Structure 1
């Protein structure tokens, strides 16, 4: 087996930076009591100004006058680790969260699908970069070795033959030992793992607990590592809280794009789609405004989800400033991708019918966009109805115009060329609106094709009933 460890060295900080308009602005996360606020995490811009993790807020204010502060929330770290596990589930059936701020993926069985490891690794990095998470990735023959090597390396891929040498060069303090064990090894003059591994096992067993030797054996793959297997949830919930009042729906588009992108990543990992979801605009001390987004079929493309949500959100009049934006999706049906052509001409200008239909519904409203179905009636003006009305039947096997006039008009071309016909339509005697007509497919002098008729037995006057595209 081969295991990939994806380590997130600043997960709490990335969770905040990814929802900010300017992620390059100096930012620190604060923790501790009000009497002694401490810098828990610092972004690179703040580090360049001299701010460091562990400083008190008083010292930081003395060094730098202007920087942004947000509260460090440990529960958010757990939330985003669960989200990243759902994302990683699309690449492996065995995902583990047994180590904090890290994902473990069994990738041996996935290489045949996603290609050789360099290509697979590049795809992981591109998607994580788009999601806004800093990361380190290491590949190793066992899960524990991959996690420990991720402490000191990035982009490392180790096989069975290289593993002992790579592990032997690790500092004792970075090998995953308990602090007291690492201190005891340092007191014995042992600085690297290879020095510990060279000691007689009996002497190590006398000085340390059995867990130390078992840890070393698991690192080298001599003992199996039991890992819990992650299972994605059956619903999605994303929330972005603002540190200022948002008074315009336009200002909500940036966090909305982030939420819909997160939803799309979750759906791809779970291999499903979404047919309806709910946007909640949370106000201070008031009832949240609900914006419901419904689709006629399951979708999961991020751009389409954003456009549909945007179309529903923009017409909303905010009753009060918005403090937070939430997206909830409970209905996650199976997703079947639409068939696509192997060679698509100018794909940047193409828009599928399903996407166009959903976009029009979002912009114009559900009642403004409908469909039509053929009806079991030979009279052209009654041969169709809106979807959901009447009985659907298969369409006519003979040519019918795409543009049917509501009121037939006299034919102004006196010398048309007849292409087909006549076709006798005689129907409607049972409801008092009977017709007896002879229809022809003609071509006018200017090259247009029309569907014309004359009353049965009266060929002196032709009427245009429709035009062909």
Structure 2
């Protein structure tokens, strides 16, 4: 069993969801080369504008008509986005660009034996998209497609004009008085072949499922991309906040459905006569919520200058990873909003730059001053040391008077390894947990090579 979905106004419907103000005015999408209407919204239909009408005739019906170019690549991308969303429910999907797709219902018949259950599931999945569609159920892909496009309920009632054949064959069928598929199928196949040619025989074989349909099965993309054309030029970051938020909401929905997060965003603001303004955002920790991402974008935009009015916005996220949990809150206090450590690191990176915010990671070295390294913020720190170590390690050990200290725990012998090439000679240190006479706990050691005591760090 196959279901075909036909989206007659897919691109315009999606544009109206992203820019709701379009719903209040008559809007059409037109073919740039042919100068004819391809898609129109409700207010335009109410004026009598129809698909296929010349653009000049449409202008005669309303001088307030808002016209936009239809772009096939954009519609193909929207179709792919819809298929990606449906992939959560329907495992076998085949695209029929630019305005349709097939769903193979056979693998799900045990779960949903009633075809009406598929329709309910489909309606729930497509409701947030706000797109109009016609659905057709058939035993073969071609039957399902023609039922969806024609709007009839039975295969025999399908008008032959919906057969995917040449105009010459359509003309021959009309002259013979064969106006429906049922009337055509009543003609013996051999006779139809002699009178109308091999093209019709092969076409009827596809309708009946006697010839396998060549379909390209869909696999969802591994990254997110969305582009939005603005209704009017925007000359400030403030004017771009609302359309950008709409794109970020789409990104959140994309990530939420996959239980993923992103650590990178690329924003492109396209101008009329110059190269786009590109903002690259990198995060120490992944994020997926539109509200949080919008705040990060705002921080980035505050530090950049918009040199020309913006016509379009595009956003892409490629560095996707499974969502992490268990984040620890930081900066808690009365009257202060809790802020998680990952979010704080993200904001610091955006304000100061990625090259100014780092993390610290342990590494296998004998001497404390060499047992750590600098890593990008947000990177996994690794296994914590089991030995007691100070929170604050001094850049260089400083000499002390041991009479001002009380040795509490130790010693712990640390020696330079004999194979080390970074030191000229081997020497030993005995480390102690000690307390200064003023009360501060510190980490001190006795250096046998120099015969004196040194302070190397402070405990919290």
- TM tier, shorter chain? 0.5 to 0.7
Secondary structure of 2:107's counterpart equals helix
Change in Cα spacing, 1:303 to 1:121, as seen in structure 2 (3 Å) is farther
1:37 and 1:56 in contact (8 A); partners too:
yes
1:30 and 1:72 in contact (8 A); partners too:
yes
- Which residue of the partner structure matches residue 204 of structure 1? 192
Cα distance, 1:312 vs. partner?
2.8
Change in Cα spacing, 1:77 to 1:399, as seen in structure 2 (3 Å) is same
Matches within 5 A, 1:125-204: 125-153=123-151, 166-204=154-192
Secondary structure of 2:314's counterpart equals strand
Secondary structure of 1:23's counterpart equals helix
2:75 and 2:98 in contact (8 A); partners too:
no
Secondary structure of 2:128's counterpart equals helix
Using the alignment, how far apart are the partners of 2:31 and 2:223 within structure 1?
31
- Which residue of the partner structure matches residue 281 of structure 2? 293
Correspondence for 1:101 among 99, 102, 109: 99
Change in Cα spacing, 1:123 to 1:353, as seen in structure 2 (3 Å) is farther
- Which residue of the partner structure matches residue 46 of structure 2? 48
**Deviation string, structure 1 residues 382-413 (Cα, Å, up to 9, x no partner):** x9997679x97754779999x99xxxxxxxxx
Matches within 5 A, 1:233-382: 237-263=225-251, 274-296=262-284, 305-329=293-317, 331-332=318-319, 335-338=321-324, 354=342, 357-358=345-346, 361-362=349-350, 366=354
Cα distance, 1:424 vs. partner?
3.9
Cα distance, 1:363 vs. partner?
6.4
Matches within 5 A, 1:439-454: none
**Deviation string, structure 1 residues 19-53 (Cα, Å, up to 9, x no partner):** 434131321223467xx954343211122233334
Using the alignment, how far apart are the partners of 1:298 and 1:392 within structure 2?
16
Change in Cα spacing, 1:109 to 1:350, as seen in structure 2 (3 Å) is farther
Structure 1 segments unaligned to the other structure (5+ residues): 155-164, 341-348, 378-382, 405-421, 440-450, 456-464
| More off after superposition, 40-49 vs 363-372 | 363-372
Secondary structure of 1:320's counterpart equals coil
Using the alignment, how far apart are the partners of 2:108 and 2:267 within structure 1?
35
Change in Cα spacing, 1:272 to 1:336, as seen in structure 2 (3 Å) is closer
Correspondence for 1:81 among 72, 79, 82: 79
Secondary structure of 1:39's counterpart equals strand
Change in Cα spacing, 1:371 to 1:8, as seen in structure 2 (3 Å) is same
Cα distance, 1:233 vs. partner?
5.9
Using the alignment, how far apart are the partners of 1:324 and 1:97 within structure 2?
27
Structure 2 segments unaligned to the other structure (5+ residues): 327-336, 366-370, 393-406, 415-426, 444-458
- Which residue of the partner structure matches residue 418 of structure 1? none
2:8 and 2:39 in contact (8 A); partners too:
no
1:238 and 1:326 in contact (8 A); partners too:
yes
- Which residue of the partner structure matches residue 25 of structure 1? 24
How many residues align structurally?
A: 408
Using the alignment, how far apart are the partners of 1:272 and 1:315 within structure 2?
28
TM-score in terms of structure 1 length: 0.66
Change in Cα spacing, 1:271 to 1:65, as seen in structure 2 (3 Å) is same
Secondary structure of 2:154's counterpart equals helix
- Which residue of the partner structure matches residue 37 of structure 2? 39
Using the alignment, how far apart are the partners of 1:316 and 1:73 within structure 2?
31
Secondary structure of 1:316's counterpart equals coil
Cα distance, 1:199 vs. partner?
2.7
Using the alignment, how far apart are the partners of 1:189 and 1:119 within structure 2?
38
- Which residue of the partner structure matches residue 62 of structure 2? 64
Change in Cα spacing, 1:305 to 1:50, as seen in structure 2 (3 Å) is same
2:3 and 2:102 in contact (8 A); partners too:
yes
**Deviation string, structure 1 residues 207-261 (Cα, Å, up to 9, x no partner):** 2223323323322333321223345567655433335321121222233234345
Using the alignment, how far apart are the partners of 1:147 and 1:72 within structure 2?
23
Using the alignment, how far apart are the partners of 1:295 and 1:115 within structure 2?
46
Using the alignment, how far apart are the partners of 2:382 and 2:222 within structure 1?
38
Using the alignment, how far apart are the partners of 2:203 and 2:284 within structure 1?
54
Secondary structure of 1:134's counterpart equals coil
